[in-house]
Amino acid sequence: MLIAIKCPKCDTENSFSLVDSSYQGPYRCWKCRELFTIRIENNELKSCEPLTQEEFDRQQEIEALRAKFKQQ
Ligand SMILES: [Zn+2]
């Protein structure tokens, strides 16, 4: 499933591939490289909030930890 996301900063159309019908997490515009936190419910974009680099790094760390625990 591909979701079209219009970047709030540069207005570029991005397509985001969705595994489930909902998603919440970091997302980066391919063009302006701006970071956002997006929330998708039932294949619909519900929110798109600017995300700082620090916050993004923190989320990546949490994801990495989660992946680690899954392997065990
Ligand atoms: Zn952009």
The predicted structure's pLDDT at residue 72: 64
pLDDT score for 14: 94
How many other CB atoms sit within 10 Å of the CB of residue 36? 21
State the pLDDT at residue 24: 92
Per-residue pLDDT of the chain (72 residues; tens, 9 = 90+): 899 999 999 999 999 998 889 999 889 999 999 999 999 999 999 999 999 999 989 988 998 999 998 876
Give the distance (Å) from ligand 1 centre to CA of residue 32.
4
Whole-Å CA distances, 35 to 5, 42, 67 = 13, 22, 22
Q: What is the pLDDT of residue 59?
A: 85
Query: Which tokens is 45 given?
Result: 């974009």
21: its two tokens: 């019908």
Ligand 1 midpoint to CA 65 (Å): 28
